[in-house]
Amino acid sequence: MNQPHTVPLHWVVALKPEAQAIIENQSLHHSASLSGAGFQVYENREQDQRLIVTGLGKVAAAAAVVWLAAQTGEPALWLNFGVCGHLERPVGDLVRAGRVTDTAIDKSWYPMAIGLWKGIDAVEVCTVDQPCTDYPEARKCVEMEAAGFISAALRFTSVEWVQVIKVVSDNKETDLVELNAAAISRVCVDRLPDLYDGLAEWRERADRSSERDAEPAGYAAVCERYHFTQTQMHQLLRVSRRILALEPSFDLEAWAAGGGYRAGKDILAALRSLADTKCAED
């Protein structure tokens, strides 16, 4: 048996045909104790991987995230997987959300790739309220759950531990009438192997980060040496963990000592800038 991961993975999937291959491939079983409120939940024997079937729409996706978070009560990785439509990408293309936009309220979120999912193109995922064939420009795809998913998931974790990955199921050359359960299941089955490599590395990073979560190396020394308000200390902790997710060898104390900083607010501003730069590089 494989060693269980420290941080569980929570799959959030709208439809059973999208979920079926994951359930079978990852040896997930229906959990009566976690299911409820209209949601069916599956988990593996090690209880380090769970999948919830949400039903269609952003409201259902958000409610499912809140339900699963409440039932498990522990930090987790959150992954929204399913199908999407795209103007011209071929059916079966795998894409990652570099931006998620709720078209109804024109609000966007930006998942972090942190160097993962190589070979999977980043696109803007546009969440719509009704199925449509009015595909937006070529850098965008359409679906119905991602905005609800990500807005809810970010209540329970930070942005580097939330991802949206979709498989193109329809484009301007296809007919939505022909997009039945069998067709949806088929495109998902074919592309899951390409998802698992990045997924494995993502989970390993989360496990390493979890081991450091109590307090990143150098954090206590920096807080003792410089003046921080209580709020700034919490902010320092969050930004430090964000950088550690991108650069596991990062030493906060050594970095601060080399910067000639006089006050905690200066360190915090410089650290935020460093985190933004590293995210842009990825």
- Report pLDDT digits (tens) over 93-106: 889 999 999 999 99
3-state SS, residue 11: strand
CB atoms within 10 A of CB 119: 9
pLDDT of amino acid 112: 82
Q: Band the pLDDT of 1: cuts 50, 70, 90.
A: very low
Alpha-carbon distance of 262 to 278, in angstroms, equals 24
Residue 123 · residue 95 · CB < 8 Å: yes
pLDDT, tens only, 52-73 = 999 999 999 999 999 999 988 8
Which range of 32-36, 169-173, 200-204, 259-263 scores highest in mean pLDDT? It is 32-36
DSSP H stretches of helix in 76-229: 146-153, 181-212, 219-225
pLDDT of amino acid 100: 96
pLDDT averaged over every residue in the chain:
86
Residue 9 · residue 176 · CB < 8 Å: no
Task: Assess whether pLDDT exceeds 70 at residue 222.
Answer: yes
Alpha-carbon distance of 149 to 12, in angstroms, equals 8
Task: Assess whether pLDDT exceeds 80 at residue 253.
Answer: yes
Q: Amino acid letter at 233?
A: M
pLDDT of amino acid 114: 65
Q: Band the pLDDT of 152: cuts 50, 70, 90.
A: very high
Task: Assess whether pLDDT exceeds 50 at residue 159.
Answer: yes
Alpha-carbon distance of 98 to 110, in angstroms, equals 6
Task: Assess whether pLDDT exceeds 60 at residue 214.
Answer: no
Name the architecture of domain 9-211. 3-Layer(aba) Sandwich (3.40)
Over residues 260-279, the mean pLDDT reads: 85
Q: So where are the chain's domains?
A: 9-211, 214-281
Q: Is the pTM of this model over 0.95?
A: no
pLDDT, tens only, 110-129 = 988 766 777 888 899 999 99
